[in-house]
């Protein structure tokens, strides 16, 4: 399921090149996966292929988009306009999957009122007011760890139902609010472990995955 966005990106490239039919084998080779795995992933979206032919590229893309909910645009706000926040504000990938960051917030009065990557920056106090007015339901936290919980609380108060947290700490949210924790350190650590494991070449013991 986490693989579907990646397939989508690849298939979009194919479609642009005018390739209108694609087999699971082709996709699998691209990513080093098992064709069966790919086929099973695609089956999840409801797309149907034909033996010996494969899938019709655009049809498949439509199925993936529908399944991932990318057909209707989804809106979000971002809190914390440091380096990471600014990067996300300019991240080109969001638009291609139907997301848009409408407005950013920061508690630094120097930043409020400016624009970053073309998005307006507002003072943190207005979070609740603006979210309710715009009927935004998703918030992104790219603030330092120490203020993450405070911001999450504010977001809950503002009526947000989904929170995507980049701060390297965990935050508590009440029942009914979805929290997606982004954990860069975990990814990096896993990479480091895999590396170390590989060097000690097939030593029995840890088997790291994911």
Partner DNA sequence: GCATTATCGATAGCATAGTATCGATAGTCT
Partner DNA sequence: AGACTATCGATACTATGCTATCGATAATGC
63 near DNA, judged by CB under 7 A: no
36 near DNA, judged by CB under 7 A: yes
Partner from DNA, a second copy, none contacting 39, C-beta within 5 to 8 A by type: DNA
Other CB atoms within 10 A of residue 81 CB: 24
Binding site for a second copy (CB under 8 A): 1-6, 9-10, 30-32, 68-70, 74, 82-84, 86-87, 90-91, 93-94, 97, 99, 117, 137-138, 145, 161-162, 164, 168-170, 172, 176, 178, 180-196, 198, 208, 210
Least spacing, CB of residue 34 vs DNA, in Å = 4
Partner from a second copy, DNA, none contacting 51, C-beta within 5 to 8 A by type: DNA
Q: What is the DSSP letter of 143?
A: S
82, 104 Cβ separation under 8 angstroms: no
Furthest-apart CA atoms within the chain: distance in Å: 62
In what helix (H) or strand (E) does residue 44 lie, and over which residues does it extend? helix 35-44
Partner from DNA, a second copy, none contacting 54, C-beta within 5 to 8 A by type: DNA
Which one among 5, 6, 26, 75 touches DNA, defined by CB under 7 A? Answer: 26
Rounded to 5°, the CA angle 82-86-88 comes to 120
Alpha carbons 110 and 128: distance in angstroms, whole number: 20
Cβ proximity to DNA, 1 vs 185, nearer residue: 1
Other CB atoms within 10 A of residue 160 CB: 24
User: Which among 99, 71, 92 is positioned nearest to 162, based on CA atoms?
Assistant: 99
207 near DNA, judged by CB under 7 A: yes
Partner from DNA, a second copy, none contacting 49, C-beta within 5 to 8 A by type: DNA
In what helix (H) or strand (E) does residue 155 lie, and over which residues does it extend? helix 145-157
8 near DNA, judged by CB under 7 A: no
Binding site for DNA (CB under 7 A): 1, 23-26, 33-37, 39-40, 42-43, 47-55, 207, 209-210
């Amino acid at each position: 399921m986490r693989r579907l966005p990646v397939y989508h990106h690849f298939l979009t490239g194919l479609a642009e090149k005018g390739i209108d039919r694609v087999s699971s084998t082709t996709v699998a080779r691209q990513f080093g996966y098992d064709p069966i795995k790919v086929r099973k992933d695609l089956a999840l979206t409801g797309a149907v292929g034909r033996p010996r032919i494969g899938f019709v590229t655009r049809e498949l893309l439509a199925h993936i988009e529908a399944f991932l909910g990318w057909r209707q645009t989804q809106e979000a706000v971002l809190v914390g306009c440091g380096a990471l926040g600014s990067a996300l504000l300019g991240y080109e990938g969001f638009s291609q999957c139907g997301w848009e960051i409408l407005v950013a917030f920061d508690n630094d009065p120097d930043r409020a009122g400016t624009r970053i990557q073309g998005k307006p920056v507002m003072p943190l106090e207005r979070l609740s007011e603006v979210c309710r007015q715009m009927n935004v339901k998703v918030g992104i936290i790219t603030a330092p760890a120490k203020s993450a919980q405070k911001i999450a609380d504010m977001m809950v108060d503002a009526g947000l139902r989904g929170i995507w947290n980049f701060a390297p700490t965990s935050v508590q949210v009440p029942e009914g609010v979805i929290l997606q924790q982004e954990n860069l350190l975990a990814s990096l650590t896993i990479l480091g472990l895999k590396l170390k494991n590989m060097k000690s070449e097939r030593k029995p013991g840890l088997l790291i995955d994911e």
